[in-house]
Amino acid sequence: MLCGGSRASVHLWDHRHPPTLGAKVFRQSPFVLRPYSAKLQKRMNSLSRSHCKNPETIPVPHDCSSQGDDAPELLIDGLSPVAGGIVALGKFDALHIGHRELAIQAARVGTPYLLSFVGMAEVLGWKPRAPIVAKCDRKRVLSSWASYCGNIAPVEFEIEFASVRHLNPQQFVEKLSRELGVCGVVAGENYRFGYRASGDASELVRLCKEYGISAYIINSVMDKNQVSGNADSEEDSKSKERGQVSSTRVRQALAAGDVRYVTELLGRPHRVISRVRTQDITIKGGRISIQTSSLLNLPPENGVYKACSLIVGDAHPISCKVFVDTLNLHIETEDVEEVRFRNSYGSQEFLLLGIEFD
């Protein structure tokens, strides 16, 4: 069994030399709770609230192909889509290679999920800033991880940070066990949790054992470049001193315009998404121009970027050169005639443009 009753499995994994686990790895479709159905509720009710089930007993629901950016939500009666699954714990702003490693290890022992917290900036009074990955693009990124995770695309499960902020470490693990019904957790060796980050990885292991949850602690994925720089906070500064891949490093690389370094940290080209009205797109010759105010996530520093790609809807990527300045983003391509500014629903009012920097 992967977990159950009062037993807990505790492992320290080195991502560079992952062991072959004795537990059977079960593969199934990711759990996406859209739309809700009575049939789905009936199947979920077969899961126990306080005990993990063997993977074979976890229901395989329909995988919605919705293009929306909604994350799975709690079912009634306290049951959740992550019940019986393995959740990766962390801050998943960048979805970088360190985050991917957490998902890989979760997939080794069960059905992988990312447990994300939303609304942290508002609750903690942080200055608003653009996300590294556009919210509507996160599902695509997670789907690209499927080849690393035994052909399973991890699913992101969101919880309002305000609802867990004041939980101490024990209360947080109790929520994972009794309310969310998870079978196991995966976290990095430097993971902190609970009110004022009072709990560490060793306490996570201890509490998971108490509540019958498997706990897997993995080594940090280190930044091979070991780049130093100014961090946004004392915590981030400590993270950089330890040298692991972090969202802070991704932001700093974008601020420096080093998209090659960004690609290394993310494990993929950085994609900027623009939600723009067709009438706000300017086309002159082979140049397409949009305002940076239409961007949904963080672009690289002002400058000229060659060997980029323009993606419009499901169309094939078009090679281009990109000029970024404070107010506008200009895209130069010899294939401008191939660009069709029409979204997947046929509407010409708004559409999403993707620009990859490689």
CB atoms under 10 Å from CB of 320, counted, come to 24
pLDDT tens, residue by residue, 214-254: 999 999 999 988 644 444 444 444 444 468 999 999 999 99
CB atoms within 10 A of CB 72: 19
**In this structure, are 68 and 85 located in the same domain?**
yes
The verdict on 198 and 96 lying in the same domain is yes
Question: Is-contact 94 247, C-beta < 8 A?
Answer: yes
Give residues with Cβ within 8 angstroms of 241, minimum separation 6: none
Query: Residue 327: which domain range?
Result: 270-357
200 shares its domain with 311:
no
Predicted model pTM: 0.77
Residue 160 lies in a domain: yes
Tens-digit pLDDT string for the chain (358 aa): 334 333 344 555 554 444 333 332 222 223 222 323 333 333 333 443 334 543 333 332 223 233 344 444 444 455 688 999 999 999 999 999 999 999 999 999 999 999 998 888 888 888 889 999 999 999 999 999 999 999 999 999 999 999 999 999 999 999 999 999 999 999 999 999 999 999 999 999 999 999 999 999 999 999 988 644 444 444 444 444 468 999 999 999 999 999 999 999 999 999 999 999 888 999 888 899 999 999 999 999 999 999 999 998 778 899 999 999 999 999 999 877 667 665 444 455 788 899 999 8
Helix (H, G, I), strand (E, B) or coil at 44: helix
Same domain, 213 and 287: no
- Same domain for 179 and 290: no
Residue 148 located in a structural domain: yes
Q: Give dist(CA 82, CA 112) in Å, integer.
A: 9
